[in-house]
């Protein structure tokens, strides 16, 4: 009796030497979980609220009260319109001077707290994989 590969035509026709491979379709990729940017930003801001919230509020105040800020522009507009009408806008002038004096203070507070918050959040993100390896 012959074996496959001996050259016997009856055996060669019955059992092919190499079987053809059937290619399966690729598995579908798992669905991507979208990153929630707003949630992530809020979580990092409140992770260290003394630095994150204070720095964020200080930057906001510095941008609103600064020389090109929205509050400064609004107060300047009130001051100019009152002067055009012939009134004495002392309250608008005092408020404008106060905002222009407070803006650098707010910026200094923001510059003082922001690097501390950034370092703490960066360290927290980089150490989070390590904290998952702890065996408690």
- pLDDT at residue number 29: 86
Phi-psi region of 67 (alpha: psi -120 to 50; beta: other; left: phi over 0): alpha
- pLDDT at residue number 114: 86
- pLDDT at residue number 13: 58
- pLDDT at residue number 136: 43
Q: What is the pLDDT of residues 116-136, one digit of tens each?
A: 888 888 888 788 777 665 544
Which contacts of 59-67 are long-range, i.e. CB under 8 A and separated by 24 or more positions?
Answer: 59/106, 59/107, 59/110, 59/114, 61/102, 61/103, 61/106, 62/103, 62/104, 62/106, 62/107, 62/110, 65/99, 65/100, 65/102, 65/103, 65/106, 66/103, 66/107, 67/100, 67/103
- pLDDT at residue number 6: 59
- pLDDT at residue number 84: 95
- pLDDT at residue number 117: 86
Q: What is the pLDDT of residues 4-61, one digit of tens each?
A: 555 565 555 555 566 677 888 888 888 887 778 888 878 887 888 888 888 889 999 9
d(CA 124, CA 35): 18
Q: What is the pLDDT of residues 53-94, one digit of tens each?
A: 888 899 999 999 998 999 999 999 999 999 999 999 999 999
- pLDDT at residue number 33: 77
**Domain locations along the chain:** 60-120
């Amino acid at each position: 009796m012959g074996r496959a590969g001996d050259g016997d035509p009856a055996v060669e026709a019955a059992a092919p030497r190499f079987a053809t491979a059937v290619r399966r379709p690729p598995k579908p990729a798992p669905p991507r979980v979208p990153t929630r940017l707003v949630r992530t930003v809020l979580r990092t801001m409140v992770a260290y609220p003394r630095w994150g919230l204070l720095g964020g509020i200080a930057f906001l105040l510095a941008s609103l009260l600064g020389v090109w800020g929205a509050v400064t522009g609004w107060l300047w507009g009130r001051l100019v319109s009152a002067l055009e009408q012939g009134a004495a806008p002392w309250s608008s002038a005092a408020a404008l001077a106060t905002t222009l004096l407070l803006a650098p203070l707010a910026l200094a507070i923001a510059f003082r707290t922001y690097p501390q918050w950034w370092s703490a959040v960066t360290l927290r993100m980089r150490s989070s994989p390590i904290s998952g390896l702890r065996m408690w």
